[in-house]
């Protein structure tokens, strides 16, 4: 029995490794389009910034490791050209044909490219993208940079390029960042970027690099799931455009599973399909897909969309829905935003901003947004746990959270926000 996995980064290698643990006799082959596998793609902006000295520092394992330690065959620089599922066969760009009995599609996503790109325009999705950009910055020594897109990659690249001393302009077509239409968050990020001498141009769509005069351009205007080949073979895509899968990561093709940035999953709050390409999600989905391809019956219940990003030293984190998203999903949201200290002032306490959202009718917590210099990760994880447990605001207010002056405020900022939200609901 042969399992073929298309994609050799987070989801694909999680699937292959999990399948091997459950079935020692399974023949497993991983096909990866790029030259490097098992690397931390989320670290690429930090490589550009200089936090990592080389791309090798982002690499977790080599193909040799998987062959030697896990008996998984990995082929890099191997691109699939077509899927012929009736014949259980992949055709490669090279013309070679690969037979499979079971297939895990973990082909990820690709960046949206600009029209008429030139040699100073870069995207940042793969290690090869990062290597090309790093070479350009080192050899050409540009002085000015444009970043198109105010999402995760865009804001991380603004930070990285400013750290390298470039003069940076950020262009964003919408009036907010990170797909979160929250005025308080937009104001805080804008103020921070401007203090870092970044020229911010919100509500400024850009269609082509030819419109900009900067020395280097980072195009971070979104991504698209890599679904075309498997969709041509008959796999259905969902309302988000990514592959439609069950809670067992099964596609609509028998014997084919999908995981990671190419697939939808269920949103734990809205209970609707969502496409949020995140590394942690890819790993978890990959494990479930690989387990089921090896004969298990495991489930992936979904995600709350929990994520965190650093913007010029500021931690910004989300989980669940904000008010606008909740309204679109049929809830009646109420929200409260507070500023509080994460610790007492005599322990160098810093400002933490917290927004909580709850449903007016059921008092169920729907989401949280948190921004601050420190303590953001711990706070958002508490909120994410509350969403997974489907807590009401009253449940949340009864949480017993730790306090000691060196690490926490006497009243946790999350509970301050919850109390304010309770007053809003009344």
Catalytic residue IDs: 42
CA distance 97 to 99: 7
Is 181:83 a contact under the CB 8 Å cutoff? no
Encoded tokens for 283: 């790993």
Q: Which residue has the tokens 């999350």?
A: 414
Encoded tokens for 32: 């990866």
Using DSSP, state whether 290 is helix, strand or coil: helix
Strands of 222-306 (E only): list them.
Answer: 223-225, 256-258, 265-266, 273-274
CA distance 135 to 10: 26
How many Cα atoms are found within 13 Å in the side-chain-facing hemisphere of 417?
28
Radius of gyration of the chain (CA): 23
User: Angle between the 279-293 and 10-22 helix axes, to the nearest 10 degrees?
Assistant: 30
CA distance 73 to 77: 13
Rounded alpha-carbon distances, angstroms, from residue 308 to 79, 156, 280, 371, 374:
32, 11, 11, 9, 12
CA distance 41 to 8: 12
Question: What is the dihedral sign for C-alpha 182, 187, 193, 194?
Answer: positive
Q: What is the DSSP letter of 203?
A: T
Encoded tokens for 203: 């509500």
Rounded alpha-carbon distances, angstroms, from residue 204 to 32, 37, 152, 200:
37, 37, 18, 10
Q: What is the DSSP letter of 79?
A: -
Burial class of residue 164 (count of CB atoms within 10 Å of its CB; 0-12, 13-18, 19+): middle
């Amino acid at each position: 029995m042969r399992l073929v996995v298309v994609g050799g980064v987070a989801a694909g290698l999680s699937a292959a490794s999990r399948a091997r643990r459950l079935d020692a006799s399974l023949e497993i082959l991983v096909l990866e389009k790029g030259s490097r596998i098992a690397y931390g793609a989320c670290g690429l902006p930090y490589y550009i910034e200089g936090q990592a000295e080389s791309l090798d520092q982002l690499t977790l394992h080599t193909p040799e490791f998987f062959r030697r330690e896990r008996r998984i065959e990995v082929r890099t620089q191997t691109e699939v050209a077509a899927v012929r599922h009736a014949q259980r066969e992949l055709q490669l760009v090279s013309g070679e044909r690969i037979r499979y009995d079971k297939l895990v599609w973990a082909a990820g996503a690709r960046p949206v490219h600009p029209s008429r790109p030139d040699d100073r325009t870069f995207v940042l999705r793969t290690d090869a993208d990062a290597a090309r950009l790093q070479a350009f910055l080192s050899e050409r020594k540009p002085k000015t940079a444009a970043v198109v897109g105010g999402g995760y990659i865009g804001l991380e690249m603004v930070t990285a390029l400013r750290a390298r001393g470039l003069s940076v302009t950020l262009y964003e077509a919408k009036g907010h960042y990170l797909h979160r239409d929250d005025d308080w968050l937009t104001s805080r990020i804008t103020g921070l970027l401007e203090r870092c001498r970044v020229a911010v141009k919100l509500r400024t769509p850009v269609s082509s690099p030819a419109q900009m005069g900067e020395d280097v351009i980072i195009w971070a205007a979104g991504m698209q799931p890599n679904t075309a080949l498997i969709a041509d073979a008959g796999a259905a895509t969902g309302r988000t455009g990514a592959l439609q899968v069950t809670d067992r990561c099964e596609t609509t093709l028998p014997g084919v599973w999908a995981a990671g940035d190419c697939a939808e999953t269920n949103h734990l709050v809205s209970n609707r399909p969502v496409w949020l390409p995140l590394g942690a999600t890819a790993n978890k989905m990959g494990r479930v897909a690989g387990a089921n391809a090896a004969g298990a019956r495991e489930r992936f219940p979904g995600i709350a969309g929990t994520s965190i990003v650093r913007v010029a030293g500021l931690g910004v984190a989300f989980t669940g829905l904000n008010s606008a998203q909740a309204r679109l999903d049929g809830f009646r949201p109420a929200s409260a935003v507070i500023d509080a200290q994460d610790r007492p002032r005599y322990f160098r306490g810093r400002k933490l901003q917290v927004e909580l959202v709850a449903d007016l009718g059921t008092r169920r917590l729907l989401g949280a947004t948190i921004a601050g210099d420190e303590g953001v990760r711990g706070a958002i994880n508490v909120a994410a746990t509350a969403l997974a447990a489907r807590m009401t605001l009253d449940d949340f207010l009864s949480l017993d959270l730790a306090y000691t002056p060196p690490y926490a405020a006497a009243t946790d900022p999350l509970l301050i926000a919850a109390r304010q939200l309770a007053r809003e609901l009344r």
